[in-house]
Amino acid sequence: MDAHRKARLAAHPQLTLTGLYNVLAAIRAGKPLSAAERDVHDAGQVSILRALHDRLDAVVAAAYGWPADLPDAAIVARVVALNAERVKEEAAGIIRWLRPELQAPEEIRRKAVQTEMAVAEATAPGAIPWPKDVPAQFIILRSALARGPASARDVARRFKGAPRPAKMGEMLETLAALGQARRVSDGRFVA
């Protein structure tokens, strides 16, 4: 992405980074481009820039184990939750260096142990409460799968107070064992 931007700016001195991103914002908003904006779009290859950003967004979402189509508010909520967890860790003396050879060269002499950080799953807007009794849980779980293929994480996000994805995965496996759901090729389940 950086190489693309630099190449376009070098090839067209009249372009600016701000101009490229203003046109990108207009495209994302679905606004028709003016003649000047079309010139910026063509010279800056803004559609390619958009595709590069979309690909980066998808890769970052996958790295966090998040759906690629999260709305901005859900992303912000998850990042805030991650930040709160990191603050607690750092207060307890646990530091996760991104580049220890530069940030803490003395730390690289010790064997670093990176553990998975537990973060509460965010629920989707409009999520319904998870039932308390077990039979109702399996009934609502099966009807959630009737909406289409879903992973344990996807299903857990649909309900307030739902079990964590690992437990939800066990419940999905139970439904599959009982013939009430089946696992599809990508690891998701469907009713």
- Residue written as tokens 């649909």? 158
Given a contact cutoff of 8 angstroms between Cβ atoms, the answer to whether 125 and 159 are in contact is no
Domain 128-190 carries which CATH code? Answer: 1.10.10
81 — pLDDT class (breaks 50, 70, 90): very high
The phi and psi torsions of 129 (rounded to 5 degrees) equal -65, 140
DSSP structural state of residue 182: E
DSSP structural state of residue 54: H
Whole-number Å distance between alpha carbons of 180 and 137: 13
31 — pLDDT class (breaks 50, 70, 90): very high
Nearest to 188 by CA among 155, 141, 143, 140: 155
What residue segments make up the domains of the chain, in order of their start? Answer: 2-63, 67-109, 128-190
In this prediction, residues 29-41 reach a mean pLDDT of: 96
What token pair was written down for 159? 């309900």
What is the per-residue pLDDT across 99-132, written as a single tens digit (0 to 9) for each? 777 777 776 555 556 666 565 555 556 678 888 8
What is the pLDDT, as a whole number, of residue 180? 87
Q: Which residues fall within 8 angstroms of residue 101, CB to CB, at 6 or more apart?
A: 108
Whole-number Å distance between alpha carbons of 3 and 170: 45
